[in-house]
Amino acid sequence: EQKGIALLLQALAVTTSGATLDVVGDGDQRAALECGAGTLGVAGRVRWLGALSQEPLVPLYRAAAAVVIPSEDEGLGLVAVEAQLCETPVIAFASGGLVDVVSDGATGILTPGGDVRALAAAMDALLARTDRGASLGRAGRNAALARFSPAVAAAHYRSIYERVTHDS
């Protein structure tokens, strides 16, 4: 429920591009969501992959046209960062930490929280681009590396430690 998969299924149902969806993860609502996909007429366009370890995620990220995050209450948005590191554009609701990770129009597409039609339009727009979002993916990777790479994190922690030890 927290990840917004029901809203994503609704968005998929109103897309015009014929988009397909791989759902990674599991939960106690999976059966209801699968049933909902059938009711919406999109069951044939959805693959339910269940919970996966980190290793098989990279090829999935890289094969995806986009990673869609329809969460309305997301923390940091680690999935968005992982997608960006794989040069996969992110489409998400402008919510929580996602607005800090995804730069609308530059590294991905942000839509108003809960707006299923806007989410569907963003999916269709990305798939209609001649580069299918590749430029967003490249920019996303550069932004993620500039912000989250081990060297950047180490420099940030070093700066904190130096301030603390010099202020004491």
For residue 159, is pLDDT > 70? yes
pLDDT at site 152: 85
CB 13 within 8 A of CB 78: no
> Rounded to whole angstroms, how far apart are CA atoms 164 and 115?
45
Q: How many whole angstroms from its chain centre is CA 111? A: 12
CB 11 within 8 A of CB 123: yes
Q: How far is CA 12 from CA 48, 73, 144, in A?
A: 14, 20, 27
pLDDT at site 150: 85
Phi-psi domain of 31 (left: phi exceeds 0; alpha: psi -120 through 50; beta: other): alpha
**Which tokens hold the place of 25?**
């993860």
Amino acid making up residue 49 = L
pLDDT at site 149: 86
For residue 168, is pLDDT > 70? no
84-127 pLDDT, tens digit each? 999 999 999 999 999 999 999 999 999 999 999 999 999 999 99
pLDDT at site 63: 96
pLDDT at site 55: 92
Q: How many whole angstroms from its chain centre is CA 107? A: 11
pLDDT at site 76: 84
DSSP letters spanning 95-164: -TTHHHH--BTTTEEEE-TT-HHHHHHHHHHHHHSTTTTHHHHHHHHHHHHHHHSHHHHHHHHHHHHHHH
Q: What is the pTM of this model?
A: 0.90
Band the pLDDT of 58: cuts 50, 70, 90.
Answer: very high
pLDDT at site 30: 96
Band the pLDDT of 9: cuts 50, 70, 90.
Answer: very high
Band the pLDDT of 148: cuts 50, 70, 90.
Answer: confident
**% of the chain with per-residue pLDDT over 90:** 82
